[in-house]
Chain A
Amino acid sequence: MIAQTLRHAARLALPALALTAGAAVSVAQDAEKIVIEAGRVVTPTGPIENGVIVIENGRITALGAADEVEAPWDAVVIGGEDFTAMPGFVEAHASSGLDRANENIDVAPFLNIRDSIDPVAYFFEDCLRWGITTVNVQQGNNCVVGARGMIVRPVGMTVEEMMVRPEHGLKMSVAPKTRKSRATQLQTLNRAFSDLRRYLEELVQEKKDGGDRARREALYQGRDLDGENAEGRAMGGSAWKVEGLELVPRGEIDEKQEPLLHLIEGRYPAYIYCRTPMDVHHALDVARENGFLARTTLVIDDGCWKAADVIAEAGVPVVLDGDQIHTERDSFTGKEKETFVPGILHEKGIRFALSSTNSDTDSLWFQAASAIGFGLEPEVALSSVTQTPAEILGLGKEVGSLEVGKHGNVVLFSGDPMSITSWVEHVVIEGREVYDRSKDVRNTHLLDGTRPPGTTAPVDEE
């Protein structure tokens, strides 16, 4: 399955190569076995000196010291003793790589981020450059109820090739959308759920009364009313229930209302954006009242550390969308006070992921290194950009660490991964080398200003 998907994928790391995708595809087809050698392999049980990683059909099949692991004789070998192998970084929440991250309509769960993802966006190319191999793409924070998101690998010429998990997560925001007051934001968010409830109750009543308006509308929407969709099902989920929903064939439920019902019934996790500590309370209330608290991840700005106790009590994980250092000024003394947010989150026992809201100083390796600098234990810092985000995305057994059975997502650094002088030299996603710095035209340009012939200057993203 994975190999099949990969078969169509082409190298995205180099825009120049993208034009000759045909050639790259044939290379990809042959590389079903790959052996990665590294002077140091970072694993959950500690580093392996002079290690070898064997990846077959996209998965890690063997991992260990060079003299203990038997590598297939016919595999492609990359790396060497100068490199350090790290698991690919996992971006727990990003609103990049999209054609416009925000939607005008307040409540738009019927939208799908799939339709906005741009496979050749500079963001995805840059993800590879910094060693990010899994990205959870969600609608921007400027929404009430946003679209359904998607987990992708940042490589592929089409969204389908990039896809890891379709329809993953539903984005919401408690922080006021542009031109909304906090009160109307909350009202709109709560009303989305009460509207759903009233709609479902009316649907049940209509069915009891023998009406067929819903059926005709469903046909008009072009919905499939056969098979599973022809059957009704009692309302799932752990919150409020609409009695008699089993009377309504699932296919007859309006597609604009369906995603929120799915959220309540447990099909999607929720990503709720909070800008200020007060937002945290509201976000948790909405999740609790509608029964999806257990599947909620808070996407928080740095100031939300003040609500750390509330977050810890609710037991939800968070993605830090803001700066690691929260700065505020005392209005009396004028003095600046700086708070190291990941430190507080860790101290309170909150599971958290760091995120790279853009791709320069905020990229994940740099975020982890900085967090260590500010005082976080190295293991926690590394986990916050690998295993923890993988678990938040429900991919804890697939990605996030170098272990036998997991996806072969490996980043080779030129030296100590957390040192400022190290570079990402190679990136392997599911057994396929998708980035090689020696061929990275844009990196050469950034490094020494020379622009190879036939290439154009980088264009700033929106």
Chain B
Amino acid sequence: MKPTQVLAVLLFATPSLAPVAGATVVGTSTDADATDPVPATAPADDDSWTIRADRIYTAAGDPIEGGVVAVKDGKISAVSGGGSGTLECAAVTPGLIDLSVRIDTGAYSVEQADETPIALRVSDALDLYSYRWDRELRSGVTTVLANPEDKAVLGGLGVVLKTGGEPTLDARVLRQDAVLRGSLGAEPSSGNRPPRGSGPSTFYYRRPTTRMGVEWILRKSFYDALAVERTGEGATPELEILQRTLKGEVPLVIQGWATQDIRTAVYLKEEFSIPKMFIDGAAEAWHEPDLLVRSGAAVVLPPFRFQGGPGTDGSFYAYDTAARLQERGVMFALSGHGASDPVMRLNKQPGYAMRGGLDFADALAAVTINPARMVGVDDRVGSIEVGKDADLVLWSGTPFEPTSRVIGVLLNGELVLDPRESNQ
């Protein structure tokens, strides 16, 4: 039995599950089980499920009324209308994807020696045993992008991973070095100070201390990368990553909340012709939809703020931001920032975007297939289609409404939150 199965049994054990667990321990082949003619209503073995939902929101075309999603060997094996299932719920959606989950190891893991530790990998510092992954998983978030903390101008490489499964990188990572993470605004220069009363040679002198300095370091980094490209001399692992970013092999993610930072990010993209970039935390994206359209930059919107503002860097986040970006054709995703408050998590964010005028289908895409495309994992996750990973969320009612909740979650075909338990 895999550790996750143990976990699932421990956390959500039901009498009906117990014999299955026992059978696995004594070595019954799961393949043999699957070929047996198992009655549809009886609990299946851990590797295959059929989920009957009043509505299947596939994020790949129109929803299916009253259908079944079949899961086998960790993948979605069939999606069809009608039929019955081993698990039942009001609605099923793909597992949610958060491109700004903000689970990291905290400020102490920030490299203080360098403002551009480009080659650092956040995956080296992730605590896969943290309870916060489980919190995301239980609330329906199955895939996330984890980034380095935003205290450096270019903080290193982010990683796309699943929120559950065996607690090893091998088991969880979907895409290593998925993005290069940069940051604008006040955060990368906060805490830095100019060399008062002493020369810039002092140990305590850290750049940058201004927004101008932040941008200067960003541009200098890319200039250096271009210079190496031109002269063929002075290559470093860091500059190599920047070159890959310039070729579009590694998307650049820039944090920018306020309008001026969104503008700066767009100008940077245009100046260096960076093919793939998205702006994270872009609360004021509603101010500059034209720039976003012109540059082709995508956007990750921060968690909703009911009072609008002021958010980070004094930003104001209008209710209709998502609706307006959708209307203009800007690619965007919603994010939950790993909130502990149940009503601020990713599974509620599409509802708030709908309150601002976004359609249900677009709101669903913004937490499933859009983010999957933005980090290039849409071949594995992001929609309910045959052959994709069986990451599914089961809902008690219409998804994203405050009157509904997540009652079941499957990750790689394994039941990690049992709807038969949650319904009680």
CA distance A211 to B303 in the complex (A): 69
The residue from B11, B305, B396, B402 contacting A370, defined by CB atoms under 8 A apart: B402
Contact residues in B for A366 (Cβ distance below 8 Å): 343, 402
A438 part of interface (Cβ distance < 8 Å): no
B378 part of interface (Cβ distance < 8 Å): no
Quick one: CB contact mask for A364-376 with B, threshold 8 Å, 1 for yes? Answer: 0010011011110
Contact residues in B for A460 (Cβ distance below 8 Å): 310
A462 part of interface (Cβ distance < 8 Å): no
**Number of residue pairs spanning A and B whose beta carbons lie under 8 angstroms apart:** 83
Select from chain B the residue with minimum beta-carbon distance to A446. Answer: B308
* Shortest distance between the CB of A346 and any CB in chain B (Å): 15
Contact residues in A for B129 (Cβ distance below 8 Å): 334
Contact residues in B for A254 (Cβ distance below 8 Å): none
Cβ of B405 and Cβ of A375 under 8 Å apart?
Answer: yes
B124 part of interface (Cβ distance < 8 Å): no
* Shortest distance between the CB of B321 and any CB in chain A (Å): 8
Cβ of A336 and Cβ of B135 under 8 Å apart?
Answer: yes
Most buried by A among B318, B320, B401: B401
Given A334-B131, A336-B134, A361-B344, also A420-B402 (CB < 8 A): yes
Cβ of A449 and Cβ of B405 under 8 Å apart?
Answer: no
CA distance A43 to B165 in the complex (A): 49
Contact residues in B for A370 (Cβ distance below 8 Å): 342-343, 402-403
CA distance A137 to B89 in the complex (A): 42
Q: Which of B85-132 contact A (CB under 8 A)?
A: 129, 131
* Shortest distance between the CB of B291 and any CB in chain A (Å): 16
Cβ of A449 and Cβ of B134 under 8 Å apart?
Answer: no
A105 part of interface (Cβ distance < 8 Å): no
Most buried by A among B307, B320, B341: B307
CA distance A370 to B343 in the complex (A): 8
Cβ of A418 and Cβ of B308 under 8 Å apart?
Answer: no
Most buried by A among B305, B319, B344, B402: B402
Cβ of B134 and Cβ of A361 under 8 Å apart?
Answer: no
Interface residues of B, CB < 8 Å — how many? 36
B306 part of interface (Cβ distance < 8 Å): yes
CA distance A327 to B310 in the complex (A): 28
B352 part of interface (Cβ distance < 8 Å): yes
Cβ of A446 and Cβ of B318 under 8 Å apart?
Answer: yes
Contact residues in B for A360 (Cβ distance below 8 Å): 305-307
A1 part of interface (Cβ distance < 8 Å): no
Q: Which of A412-431 contact B (CB under 8 A)?
A: 418-421
The residue from B134, B310, B318, B341 contacting A323, defined by CB atoms under 8 A apart: B341
* Shortest distance between the CB of B293 and any CB in chain A (Å): 18
Select from chain B the residue with minimum beta-carbon distance to A130. Answer: B306
* Shortest distance between the CB of A129 and any CB in chain B (Å): 11
B400 part of interface (Cβ distance < 8 Å): yes
* Shortest distance between the CB of B395 and any CB in chain A (Å): 10
The residue from B134, B341, B356, B403 contacting A418, defined by CB atoms under 8 A apart: B403
Q: Which of A321-364 contact B (CB under 8 A)?
A: 323-325, 327, 329, 334-336, 338, 359-361
A448 part of interface (Cβ distance < 8 Å): yes
Contact residues in B for A369 (Cβ distance below 8 Å): 401-403
CA distance A419 to B403 in the complex (A): 7
A233 part of interface (Cβ distance < 8 Å): no
Chain B binding site: helix, strand, loop or mixed by DSSP? loop
* Shortest distance between the CB of B343 and any CB in chain A (Å): 5
Contact residues in B for A419 (Cβ distance below 8 Å): 401, 403
A216 part of interface (Cβ distance < 8 Å): no
* Shortest distance between the CB of A372 and any CB in chain B (Å): 4
Given A323-B341, A420-B355, also A458-B307 (CB < 8 A): yes
* Shortest distance between the CB of A164 and any CB in chain B (Å): 27
Cβ of B352 and Cβ of A420 under 8 Å apart?
Answer: yes
Q: Which of B315-330 contact A (CB under 8 A)?
A: 316, 318-321, 324
B351 part of interface (Cβ distance < 8 Å): yes
* Shortest distance between the CB of A199 and any CB in chain B (Å): 47
B292 part of interface (Cβ distance < 8 Å): no
Contact residues in B for A325 (Cβ distance below 8 Å): 342
Cβ of A329 and Cβ of B131 under 8 Å apart?
Answer: yes
Cβ of A446 and Cβ of B307 under 8 Å apart?
Answer: yes
Cβ of A445 and Cβ of B404 under 8 Å apart?
Answer: no
* Shortest distance between the CB of A325 and any CB in chain B (Å): 5
Interface residues of A, CB < 8 Å — how many? 30
* Shortest distance between the CB of B340 and any CB in chain A (Å): 7
CA distance A449 to B324 in the complex (A): 11
Given A369-B403, A421-B355, A446-B318, also A458-B344 (CB < 8 A): no
Cβ of B402 and Cβ of A418 under 8 Å apart?
Answer: yes
Contact residues in A for B244 (Cβ distance below 8 Å): none
CA distance A32 to B306 in the complex (A): 35
* Shortest distance between the CB of B236 and any CB in chain A (Å): 39
B354 part of interface (Cβ distance < 8 Å): yes
* Shortest distance between the CB of B59 and any CB in chain A (Å): 19
Contact residues in A for B341 (Cβ distance below 8 Å): 323, 361
B211 part of interface (Cβ distance < 8 Å): no
B388 part of interface (Cβ distance < 8 Å): no
* Shortest distance between the CB of A456 and any CB in chain B (Å): 13
Quick one: CB contact mask for B339-367 with A, threshold 8 Å, 1 for yes? Answer: 01111100000011011100000000000
Contact residues in A for B405 (Cβ distance below 8 Å): 373-375
B337 part of interface (Cβ distance < 8 Å): no
Select from chain B the residue with minimum beta-carbon distance to A422. Answer: B355
Contact residues in A for B286 (Cβ distance below 8 Å): 448-449
Contact residues in B for A361 (Cβ distance below 8 Å): 306, 341, 343-344
Cβ of A373 and Cβ of B307 under 8 Å apart?
Answer: no
Cβ of B402 and Cβ of A338 under 8 Å apart?
Answer: no
* Shortest distance between the CB of B169 and any CB in chain A (Å): 20
Cβ of A373 and Cβ of B403 under 8 Å apart?
Answer: yes
Cβ of B402 and Cβ of A448 under 8 Å apart?
Answer: no
CA distance A375 to B405 in the complex (A): 8
CA distance A361 to B342 in the complex (A): 11
Given A334-B129, A360-B307, also A447-B318 (CB < 8 A): yes
CA distance A334 to B135 in the complex (A): 12
Cβ of B401 and Cβ of A449 under 8 Å apart?
Answer: no
B287 part of interface (Cβ distance < 8 Å): yes
CA distance A334 to B131 in the complex (A): 6
Cβ of B402 and Cβ of A327 under 8 Å apart?
Answer: no
Contact residues in B for A338 (Cβ distance below 8 Å): 342
* Shortest distance between the CB of A68 and any CB in chain B (Å): 31
* Shortest distance between the CB of B18 and any CB in chain A (Å): 20
Cβ of A447 and Cβ of B320 under 8 Å apart?
Answer: yes
Cβ of A336 and Cβ of B131 under 8 Å apart?
Answer: yes
* Shortest distance between the CB of B320 and any CB in chain A (Å): 5
CA distance A421 to B316 in the complex (A): 21
Cβ of B308 and Cβ of A373 under 8 Å apart?
Answer: no
Cβ of A448 and Cβ of B131 under 8 Å apart?
Answer: no
Contact residues in B for A373 (Cβ distance below 8 Å): 396-397, 401-405
Cβ of A335 and Cβ of B131 under 8 Å apart?
Answer: yes
Most buried by B among A360, A418, A449, A458: A449
Interchain residue pairs A-B with the least CB separation, the first 9:
A360-B306, A449-B318, A369-B402, A420-B351, A372-B403, A447-B319, A373-B403, A446-B308, A373-B405
23 CB-based A-B contacts, threshold 8 Å: A323-B342, A335-B11, A361-B306, A361-B341, A361-B344, A366-B343, A366-B402, A369-B402, A369-B403, A370-B402, A373-B397, A373-B404, A373-B405, A374-B342, A418-B403, A420-B354, A420-B401, A445-B308, A447-B318, A448-B286, A448-B324, A449-B318, A460-B310
Contacts A373-B403, A448-B318 given; 18 further ones with Cβ under 8 A?
A: A323-B342, A360-B306, A360-B307, A366-B402, A369-B403, A372-B402, A373-B401, A373-B404, A374-B342, A375-B396, A418-B403, A420-B351, A446-B308, A447-B318, A447-B319, A448-B286, A449-B308, A449-B320
Residues of B within 8 A of A (CB): 11, 129, 131, 134-135, 286-287, 305-308, 310, 316, 318-321, 324, 340-344, 351-352, 354-356, 396-397, 400-405
